[in-house]
């Protein structure tokens, strides 16, 4: 796949139902994107390491969608790692989580998250949130492509 014109999205999410919701939400957009999924922070860091090494099966993401609460390595620890890496720190990371805790929101921004979006309970509301997120990151904002 030629990813030079494709927006590469890395979804870091352990819940298969939420993975499917994100995939379905993105399918409804007329954009050229490729979605890759990691089920926790460790898998996501392994993906990013392969990407840095030039692995064509793991293209550098233009955007990372990140859940906070995952096994093995959670979202905050992942954010600490990626934002401390000079090669990866410029990739925008949007936290996509059920948590509305003020401390989670504040800490995510302190860790340099590009955004914080609370997942909705209903599929219709979640679709609306994903529509707005996709419109901003794929149509309005400029993302860096390799």
Residue 38 inside a domain? The answer is yes
In a domain, 95, yes or no: yes
Answer whether residue 145 shows pLDDT above 60.
Answer: no
For 106-136, letters b (16+ CB in 10 Å) and e give: ebbeebebbbbbebeeeeeebeebbeebbee
Number of H helices, E strands in the chain: 5, 5
Domain contains 98: yes
Range(s) of the domain holding residue 96: 7-140
* pLDDT tens readout for residues 124-136: 888 888 888 877 8
Per the prediction, the chain carries an average pLDDT of 87
What is the structure's pLDDT at 2? 44
Q: What is the pLDDT of residue 30?
A: 66
Residue 76 has pLDDT above 50, yes or no: yes
pLDDT band at residue 142, thresholds of 50, 70 and 90?
low
Residue 50, φ and ψ in degrees, nearest 5 = -60, -40
Mean pLDDT of the 83-87 span: 95
Distance of CA 80 to the CA centre of its chain: 15
Name 81's Cβ contacts closer than 8 Å, sequence gap at least 6: 41, 45
89 against 3, higher pLDDT: 89
For residues 111-120, average pLDDT:
90
- What's the domain count of the chain? 1
Q: Is residue 2 part of a domain?
A: no
Distance in angstroms (rounded) separating the CA atoms of residues 2 and 131: 25
Contacts of residue 5, Cβ cutoff 8 Å, sequence gap at least 6:
32, 145
Query: Is 124 inside any structural domain?
Result: yes
Note whether residue 145 is domain-resident. Answer: no
Q: Residue range 21-33: average pLDDT?
A: 77
Q: What is the mean pLDDT of residues 49-60?
A: 94
Any idea what the CATH number is for the domain that residue 24 is in?
3.40.50.2300
């Amino acid at each position: 796949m030629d990813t030079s014109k494709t927006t590469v999205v890395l979804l870091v999410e352990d819940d298969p139902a939420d993975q499917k919701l994100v995939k379905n939400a993105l399918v409804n957009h007329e954009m050229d994107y490729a979605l890759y999924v990691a089920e926790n922070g460790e898998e996501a860091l392994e993906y990013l390491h392969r990407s840095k090494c030039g692995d064509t099966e793991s293209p550098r993401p233009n955007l990372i969608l990140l859940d906070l609460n995952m096994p093995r390595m959670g979202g905050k620890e992942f954010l600490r790692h990626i934002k401390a890496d000079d090669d990866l720190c410029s990739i925008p990371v949007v936290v996509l989580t059920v948590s509305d805790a003020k401390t989670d929101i504040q800490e995510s921004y302190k860790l340099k998250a590009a955004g914080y979006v609370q997942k909705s309970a209903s599929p219709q509301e979640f679709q609306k949130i994903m529509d707005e997120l996709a419109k901003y990151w794929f149509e309005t904002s400029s993302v860096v492509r390799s």
